[in-house]
Copies of this chain bind each other. A is one copy, B any other.
């Protein structure tokens, strides 16, 4: 990936972390609703995070990772971030 940051890179980054969250959620056999509830995040917001449509905050990433039993840094590294 280019080191030059731009809008499309940023969209790609959000999409990658969303995809990693979705993959981990499916491996953990959780529905999107169950993950949202476990993480204390609004269900529709969780859907937007998984689709890369929201700029997820650090605290929400920590909550999601905790609900998935992963480290946030591991999720980030899996997303090539």
Contact = CB atoms under 8 A, between A and B. Distances in A.
State the majority secondary structure of interface residues on A: helix
A72 to B, nearest CB: 5
Contacts of A14: 58-59
A41 interface: no
A24 interface: no
**Closest 9 pairs (CB-CB, A-B):** A73-B76, A73-B77, A55-B57, A72-B81, A55-B59, A56-B58, A73-B73, A57-B57, A10-B59
Interface of A: 3, 5, 10, 13-14, 17, 55-59, 61-63, 66, 71-74, 76-77, 81
16 contacts: A5-B62, A5-B66, A10-B59, A10-B62, A13-B59, A14-B59, A55-B58, A56-B58, A57-B58, A62-B81, A71-B76, A72-B76, A72-B81, A73-B74, A73-B76, A73-B77
